[in-house]
Structure formats: C-alpha cells, structure tokens
Amino acid sequence: MSFLSATPPRPLRRAGATTGRCGVLLVNLGTPDSTRYWDVRRYLSEFLSDRRVIEINPLLWQPLLQGVILTTRPFRSGAAYRRIWNTARDESPLRSFTRAQAEKLQGEFLSDGPLIDWAMRYGRPSVAERLQALQDQGCDRILVVPLYPQYSATTTATVNDQVFRALMRMRRQPTIRIVPPFPDHPLYIKGLAHSVRRAVATLPRAPQCLVASFHGLPRRYVKAGDPYPAECNRTMRALRAELGLTAREFLMTFQSRFGREPWLEPYTDERIASLPARGITRVAVITPGFLSDCIETLDEIGTELREEFLHAGGEELTVIPCLNDTPDAIRLLHALVRENMFQPAP
Ligand SMILES: C=CC1=C(C)c2cc3[nH]c(cc4nc(cc5[nH]c(cc1n2)c(C)c5CCC(=O)O)C(CCC(=O)O)=C4C)c(C)c3C=C
Ligand SMILES: [Fe+2]
Ligand SMILES: [Fe+2]
C-alpha cells in the first residue's frame, strides 16, 4: 500500500486553523494604577518615553523627562486624578469606562460570538497580556479596536505598534485585524448629536454657543504628516451637519497642550475665556476626540476650564459627557466589530 493511497483526502482547510474563536481587544490609552506619586510617575514615564508621543531626540529628552518633568508633574497630575478618581472601584474613570464597554459589548453577542477583552497601551492590563489571554482561550483571530475616533500617530499608530511588538514575541501568532478610525461613522455622529440634544434639553437656559474641544497635537507633527486635524475636521463637518449648526455657532478648539512648542489652534482655554467679553456667558462643551471621559475631559474641561470661564465673567459652562458606556457607545462598538470582523469560514 503506497503512502499516497493511505493518505485521506486532504481537506482544503486544516481543521481548527480558521474555526477557532474570534477575539476582540479594545485598546485605550492607559492610566495610572493609583493617584500616588510613584504610580503616576511610572505611568507618565512609560507614556512620555514613547517616541511616537514625544518626537525629541531621547538623548536630550530622557534627562529632562527623568529629571525635572517626572519630579514635578506627578504631583500636579496626581492631584487632578484625585479630583476625578472613581473611589467606588478605586481606579481612574478611563479604566472603568473601558472595562464597562468591553463587558457591555460582550453582552451584545451570543455565547458562540467573539470573546471581548480590553487593554491599555500604557500601564495595565497590557496589550501583550490580554492578547495572550485571548489566544489561551482559543482565539486564533483577533480584531483590535483602538478606542480613538480620529487617527493620530501618537495614539492609533502606537496601539498598532504595541500589538505587533507583542506578536514579535509569540511563536504561534493569532491573525490580527485592526479596526480603522471612525471620525465620522454615522453611529458616532448620531451618538454625539444625541448627547448634545439631551444636554441642551435639560438646561434651564439654552447655551449661546457650543464648543467641540479635541485633544491637541504639536503643529510640528501635523507638518510631518500626521492627519489628525483632518480627521477632527471630518468629525466636525459631520456633527455640524447632523445638528444643522454653522462654524460660528459650533466652534472647534484644541486642548491639553503639553510643553512650549506651538500646538494646534485655537487653544480651548484661550478661546473659551475670550467669550464672556463678547457677551457669551453660557457655553456647552463637547469633547468628540475622546470616546470615554478621562482626566482631560473631567478635570481639564470640567474643573480647570470652568474656573477660567467663570473667572473671565462666564455664567454657565456645561460639559457634555463622552459616549462612555452608554447604549450609543455600545451600538457604535458593536457596529465597528460587525463591520470589520473576520468572515466566517466558508
Ligand atoms: C506630547 C504630549 C502628548 C501628546 C502628543 C498627546 C496626544 C494625545 N493624547 C490623547 C488622549 C489622551 N491623553 C491623555 C492624557 C495625557 N496626555 C498627555 C500628553 C500628550 N498627549 C499627558 C501628559 C497626559 C496625562 C495627564 C496629565 O498628566 O495631564 C488621556 C487621559 C488619560 C487618563 O488617565 O485619563 C487621553 C485619553 C489623544 C487623543 C492625543 C492625540 C490626538
Ligand atoms: Fe494626551
Ligand atoms: Fe491635560
């Protein structure tokens, strides 16, 4: 008996090669484990040592970062994190919302659907750990969802880097697919518009002006090719159209400047503080560059900016929450997963 005739007909697919479970990994930026100095310092050190985030020669940057910046900044950031901390779970809001998104998204699928997990680009749980955990549960195909509506090399690309860095250490790699950014996904825009309408409807007096504040970026990065502001413009165009508002009625600004070099303008704080002098004392701010509330929305806008606005003569600053773990957010994430999921095996 020749070994050829003894060999059973070869299946087109090797059993198990494409029939394993699919996994979904939601990835957010990251956050410190506690508000204590060393935890904040460790987190900031990892974040600000990423060469996609700080494009300065490390020989110049690292002494500055490990010296003066990380000696002082964790005190200021720690105080800000303490103001917004989720004390019930003893964790930052960004971590709570990311976990809740993953849990609620899992609830949208039947028991044989994809396994949903979550990770942080900086800090815990790490991307490598959760990719491995998905693979250990039988996922041979993993869909990665960077939780940033607009693409930037400083956010989306560094998530992708981290995923492939983890894969470099795996002998048996899962198949990976990455969900594209979603700056004007109809469900994102509908969710944002819904948040605006709901917030405005609950106010005793309507705001005179609506402001969309996006996270900023050094201008230098944009000149070098980062498409982030164009992505923000896509969100703005779609959201203004959905709400029927003009650029004068619905302003676009950039917040969270870090360091001294010029960032994208107009700066949120300067623009909003200038409004009372023009008779605008009631403002509502939405932050469409963030899917979840975090230190940048809750503290920088909700605390620091509010103080500045009131100090400049403003009367009411309404901060419209991010989509967080609302049904609108889960509907969006569910659609992003369905639209980008691996095809079932034929
Ligand atoms: C050069 C520095 C920074 C760049 C570039 C940058 C881009 C960028 N960041 C986000 C989203 C988030 N940033 C957050 C916090 C945060 N960002 C920076 C600096 C840069 N960000 C710092 C130093 C911090 C830490 C907070 C502080 O100390 O002030 C967060 C929130 C994290 C949390 O735990 O709540 C988010 C989210 C985007 C979208 C972006 C570029 C488009
Ligand atoms: Fe940031
Ligand atoms: Fe900030």
Phi, psi dihedral angles at 54 (to 5 degrees): -115, 105
Compute the radius of gyration of the chain from its Cα atoms. Answer: 22
Phi, psi dihedral angles at 157 (to 5 degrees): -65, -35
Question: Which among 267, 266, 280 has a CA at the least distance from the CA of 309?
Answer: 280
Q: Which of 258, 261, 292, 293 to mutate to test the pocket of ligand 1 (most atoms within 8 A of CB)?
A: 258
Q: Which amino acid is residue 322, in one-letter code?
A: C
**Residues of the chain where predicted confidence (pLDDT) is lower than 70:** 1-19, 345-346
Locate the DSSP E strands across 266-333: 282-286, 316-319
Tell me, using a 6 A CB cutoff, whether residue 295 lines ligand 1.
Answer: yes
Q: In this structure, are 177 and 220 located in the same domain?
A: no
Q: In this structure, are 138 and 174 located in the same domain?
A: yes
- Give the CATH number for residue 176: 3.40.50.1400
10 is a domain residue: no
Q: Is 296 annotated as a binding residue?
A: yes
Residue 20: predicted pLDDT = 85
9 is a domain residue: no
Distance 2 CA to ligand 2 centre (A): 66
Domain of 153 in residue numbering reads as 21-181+327-340
Q: Which spans in the chain are helix H?
A: 3-6, 37-48, 58-64, 70-84, 93-107, 127-136, 158-167, 186-202, 219-223, 228-243, 268-273, 306-311, 327-340
Q: In this structure, are 96 and 218 located in the same domain?
A: no
Total domains, the chain:
2
ipTM, 2 decimals? 0.96
Is residue 121 within 8 Å of residue 159, measured between CB atoms? Answer: yes
Specify the ligand 1 atom closest to the Cα of 77.
Answer: 28
Ligand nearest to the CA of 255: 3
Q: In this structure, are 160 and 92 located in the same domain?
A: yes
Q: In this structure, are 167 and 196 located in the same domain?
A: no
Tell me, using a 6 A CB cutoff, whether residue 294 lines ligand 1.
Answer: yes
11 is a domain residue: no
Q: Which of 215, 223, 234, 257 to mutate to test the pocket of ligand 1 (most atoms within 8 A of CB)?
A: 215
Distance 45 CA to ligand 3 centre (A): 16
Q: In this structure, are 169 and 202 located in the same domain?
A: no
Distance 256 CA to ligand 3 centre (A): 4
Is residue 27 within 8 Å of residue 143, measured between CB atoms? Answer: no
Q: In this structure, are 118 and 221 located in the same domain?
A: no
CB environment 49-58: b (16+ within 10 A), e (fewer): beebbbeeee
76 is a domain residue: yes
Q: In this structure, are 190 and 269 located in the same domain?
A: yes
155 is a domain residue: yes
Q: In this structure, are 159 and 286 located in the same domain?
A: no
Tell me, using a 6 A CB cutoff, whether residue 35 lines ligand 1.
Answer: no
203 is a domain residue: yes
Q: In this structure, are 169 and 278 located in the same domain?
A: no
Tell me, using a 6 A CB cutoff, whether residue 228 lines ligand 1.
Answer: yes
Distance 270 CA to ligand 3 centre (A): 15
Residue 343: predicted pLDDT = 81
Q: In this structure, are 217 and 271 located in the same domain?
A: yes
Distance 308 CA to ligand 1 centre (A): 21
Structure tokens at 19: 């029939």
Return the number of other C-beta atoms located less than 10 Å from residue 38's C-beta. 12
Residue 346: predicted pLDDT = 56
Nearest CA to ligand 1 atom 40: 215
Question: Which among 180, 194, 195 has a CA at the least distance from the CA of 335?
Answer: 180
Q: In this structure, are 153 and 250 located in the same domain?
A: no
13 is a domain residue: no
Specify the ligand 1 atom closest to the Cα of 43.
Answer: 25
Cα separation, 89 vs 96, in Å, equals: 8
Q: What do you get for the CA distance between the two ends of the chain, in Å?
A: 34
pLDDT, one tens digit per residue, over 186-223 is 999 999 999 999 999 999 999 999 999 999 999 999 99
Residue 157: predicted pLDDT = 98
Tell me, using a 6 A CB cutoff, whether residue 152 lines ligand 1.
Answer: yes
Q: What is the pTM of this model?
A: 0.93
Cα separation, 235 vs 288, in Å, equals: 8
279 is a domain residue: yes
CA max distance for the chain: 95
Cα separation, 73 vs 79, in Å, equals: 10
